[in-house]
Structure 1
């Protein structure tokens, strides 16, 4: 005879429970079962207990979940309030007990009540979040550049457009970086805001005992008029061959550029550093200009390409009315939401002048899950492709092509950040 499983309480944590919650988080991510005092103090400085959930079996935390405020840039540059989800774990001893489902339901309900338009996350594993209405809305690509093969002129001294690249210190980055990033994210669908703490941590002003720190190099691109248009942070290893030949790799930690000239200048700077024979780009947009900036694009080899930002739409009307549209057209969408949060039939009328989205009883043109709507909303995915996969149902012939003409963007959305 087996004993009944005890009830597990899912609720927001108290400040006193942060150490137990941090231990459960580290256990779930296989970082080891202990949270240091420094880590506990750091987490206590920024987490919001009312938005930090734990699942408790008696007095022990066995699952974790945290959300926080975020702004997400929609197509066209307007931002929407987002419920950013992170630190999701379930301890191996308590799997298959619907703990994640209960935590997710609590958080999304609170987010909808607050008026958040979407929820966002970066998924450690692909199959988990589709059942909660999330869809992959941006992708990311990492390249490794074989510098000797790239074909760059070794006699090149710097930008040829009148601009210049300067190395600066972390203090300069804390002054220049936030405004530059704001310029990027206001123009980049899929980008998110960066907090003051983000800049403090990434520039070493706030050093955390539980995170190894290496001071990066910082390169700034200034246009001919002195305007800062790009910033790169990177680290280099110290690798040499047995024949005393340098084999160093430069690894990009962050590269923000608001003009093609800035992108070109910063990538060429990285590929021109003495001793560097390889550049790892970090996570970039899948349609980044980089490979084609090189005389030999084959010198840039894709190392990783994967889904990145996942989106869950909480308010269909505000999501579709906030973004912009290059074409003109009308679609009736039957949105299926198994959680009952935002499903229904909606008539969308869109044009370059704006869009309206209203409930309707008209026959649907397309039927799709709210997760598939999320993959289309930022402009990256094709409704025609989703229809071919059976993930969008075309109720009117040609409706998927109309959706693509309205929703797809000329450049792909991109989220530069992990959270």
Structure 2
């Protein structure tokens, strides 16, 4: 059997993209066939030098790529991120250090570039903690039993003078990007969306048309005509034995820059004729939806899990990028086995500003970079991590102070997969 040293880790060449896609599809248990159109389309967004392959002889047996990203920190700052995706190792080549070599190479390059954090969506939980990633946001999905929800069936639109209009994909591509930029500036954990994202959301590439279902798009406009919300959804076609419509609407995307727009769009999708069930798609765990219903029990959680994972590469830049709702000083001892972000840091924070510097003072809270990454967006609790034995207090009450500084009133949320 070949050893790990026989496997070559390197950026893929243009003529190797079909083999790279085939290996990725194999790793994710998708059909391994690759069309010329698919290879050409995917090749347009693979970043040169950041699309890695593991090669055993002439065969691609591992895939990995990253791309530039921005993530919103607490307070609204856009932070440079190294987004990691398309990670796979063929089943025949596991346990040979392939992923470790690809990840180590990419994170070192991201650190050198000046990226503040790395991000990913983990297909499996146990893999990425050993590389310094920590689960930083959670998602929830609800299924709403519309008849049980107790909503007024006579609802005909927003009561505040606003309106909801159905639009097509062309209109979404015009208004959606600016609306989303407003949304993500106020949503910790949200990542940027490029032109390709909007293209995929409004019309699948030609090579994937067989899997495409044209969605409905609804926008919320205020009484002044300003777009403040966007809803994208599909509806199935299901009838009961007594010739009763039992359709389910599946929300693909719902973003809003005001609570009024968010409430109106949820109310709209729950009022569509023939729709008796609504699947909400991936939402923040403290989404407004359940409590919008006269009977919140009509919204049943059907999925709840970790979502966006973060890996801090620059502790000073990461902690200084966010805002703080309390005043305090805390000395953190951060352990990082990869040598990218470890050290001792003093955090001085208040609502007026923040300073984070390296220090030789005695540590008050000792934690790994994965744990700090989980705390960064404000969703995880340092007190909880102390209780779990994953964080150690060197000074009594340090975990409580960390929570006062870092936690947020609304939970962070990343609405996208990448």
TM-score (norm 2): 0.98
1:252 corresponds to 2:251: yes
Equivalent in the alignment of 1:8: 7
Equivalent in the alignment of 1:70: 69
Aligned equivalents of 2:264 and 2:131: distance in 1?
Answer: 42
CA deviation vs aligned residue, 1:142-167 (integer Å, no higher than 9, x gap):
00000001101111211111111111
Contact preservation (8 Å) 2:4, 2:96:
no
Equivalent in the alignment of 1:129: 128
Aligned equivalents of 1:95 and 1:206: distance in 2?
Answer: 32
Contact preservation (8 Å) 1:201, 1:207:
no
Contact preservation (8 Å) 2:3, 2:96:
no
Contact preservation (8 Å) 2:76, 2:187:
yes
Equivalent in the alignment of 2:39: 40
Q: Are the structure 2 counterparts of residues 4 and 244 from structure 1 closer, same or farther at C-alpha, using a change threshold of 3 Å?
A: closer
Contact preservation (8 Å) 1:38, 1:209:
no
Aligned equivalents of 1:3 and 1:57: distance in 2?
Answer: 8
Aligned equivalents of 1:210 and 1:50: distance in 2?
Answer: 30
Shift of 1:45: 1.2
Equivalent in the alignment of 1:116: 115
Contact preservation (8 Å) 2:331, 2:346:
yes
List, as ranges, runs of 4+ consecutive aligned residues in structure 1 with deviation greater than 6 Å.
2-6
Contact preservation (8 Å) 1:38, 1:210:
no
Aligned equivalents of 1:4 and 1:167: distance in 2?
Answer: 58
Shift of 1:209: 2.3
Pairs within 5 Å for 1:176-195: 176-195=175-194
Equivalent in the alignment of 2:273: 274
Q: CA RMSD in A?
A: 1.2
Q: Are the structure 2 counterparts of residues 267 and 327 from structure 1 closer, same or farther at C-alpha, using a change threshold of 3 Å?
A: same
Structure 1 gaps of 5+ residues are: none
Equivalent in the alignment of 2:208: 209
Pairs within 5 Å for 1:333-352: 333-352=332-351
Aligned residues: 418
Question: What secondary structure is seen at the aligned counterpart in 2 of 1:414?
Answer: coil
Pairs within 5 Å for 1:1-400: 7-204=6-203, 206-209=205-208, 212-400=211-399
Aligned equivalents of 2:207 and 2:72: distance in 1?
Answer: 30
Aligned equivalents of 1:313 and 1:101: distance in 2?
Answer: 17
Contact preservation (8 Å) 2:204, 2:212:
no
Aligned equivalents of 2:129 and 2:328: distance in 1?
Answer: 29
Aligned equivalents of 2:367 and 2:209: distance in 1?
Answer: 44
Q: Are the structure 2 counterparts of residues 153 and 53 from structure 1 closer, same or farther at C-alpha, using a change threshold of 3 Å?
A: same
Question: What secondary structure is seen at the aligned counterpart in 1 of 2:287?
Answer: coil
Equivalent in the alignment of 2:413: 414
Aligned equivalents of 2:216 and 2:405: distance in 1?
Answer: 42
Aligned equivalents of 1:20 and 1:249: distance in 2?
Answer: 39
CA deviation vs aligned residue, 1:229-268 (integer Å, no higher than 9, x gap):
1010000000001110001000001101111111111011
Contact preservation (8 Å) 1:163, 1:222:
yes
Aligned equivalents of 2:253 and 2:2: distance in 1?
Answer: 53
Aligned equivalents of 1:5 and 1:272: distance in 2?
Answer: 58
Aligned equivalents of 1:293 and 1:335: distance in 2?
Answer: 42
Question: What secondary structure is seen at the aligned counterpart in 1 of 2:392?
Answer: strand
CA deviation vs aligned residue, 1:259-289 (integer Å, no higher than 9, x gap):
1111111011101100000000000000000
Question: What secondary structure is seen at the aligned counterpart in 1 of 2:270?
Answer: helix
CA deviation vs aligned residue, 1:339-376 (integer Å, no higher than 9, x gap):
11110000010011111111111111100000000010
Shift of 1:135: 0.1
Shift of 1:207: 3.8
Contact preservation (8 Å) 1:63, 1:88:
yes
Shift of 1:383: 0.3
Q: Are the structure 2 counterparts of residues 78 and 6 from structure 1 closer, same or farther at C-alpha, using a change threshold of 3 Å?
A: closer
TM-score (norm 1): 0.98
> 27-36 or 180-189, which moves further after superposition?
27-36
Shift of 1:49: 2.9
Aligned equivalents of 2:126 and 2:64: distance in 1?
Answer: 18
